[in-house]
Structure 1
C-alpha cells in the first residue's frame, strides 16, 4: 500500500536542484522546479547506477554526473545517450511547506 513520506522542508532544496532521499532501503532523487513544483524519481541512473542527486538540473532535465546521460525528471523519460531505460517516477507534493513523496 502506497503512503506519503515526508522528505524535507521545501527551503532545503534549492530552486532548480535535486536532493537525495533514502527510505526503507530505497534511494530517490527529489527535485524542485523553478516554479516550486516538486518531483521524484528513482535515485540511481539506469545506466551505471550513479546517484542522480550529484547531477545537474536544467529546466525539467537531470543530467547524470558520470556519463552525462539525461532524463526528464517529470516523466522519467531517458533523453540522451548513453541512458536508454526510463526512470521510475513517484507522486510528489508540497504540504504545509514540507516536500512529500508517495511510495
Structure 2
C-alpha cells in the first residue's frame, strides 16, 4: 500500500536542477523544471552506479553523469543509450510549501 511522505521544502528545489532525498532509506532524485514542474525518479542510473541528481538536466530529461545516457524525468523511461532500462518514477505533489512523494 502506498502513502504520501514529505521529503523536502519547496524552497529546497531550484529550476533546472535536481536534489537527492532519502525517504524510508530510498535514494530518490527530485527535479524541478525551468517551468516549475516537479518530478521524481530513483536516483541511481539503471546502466551504472551513477547518481542522477548529479547529472545535467534539460527540459524533461536528466543525463547520467557517467555515460551520458538519458531518462525522461516524467516517466523514468530511458531516452538515450547506453541507458535502456527505465528507472522508477514517483508521483509528486506540492502542498503548503512542502514536496510530497507517493511511496
Per the normalisation by structure 1, the TM-score is: 0.94
Tell whether the 8 Å contact from 2:63 to 2:69 is kept in structure 1 after alignment: yes
* C-alpha distance in 2 between matches for 1:51 and 1:74: 17
Q: Distance in 1 between matches of 2:68 and 2:37?
A: 24
1:29 aligns with 2:29: yes
Unaligned runs of 5+ in 1: none
Size of the aligned set, in residue pairs, is 103
Contact 2:46 2:83 in 1 (8 A): yes
Runs of 5+ consecutive residues of structure 2 not aligned to the other structure: none
Partner Cα distance (1:37, 1:99) in 2: 12
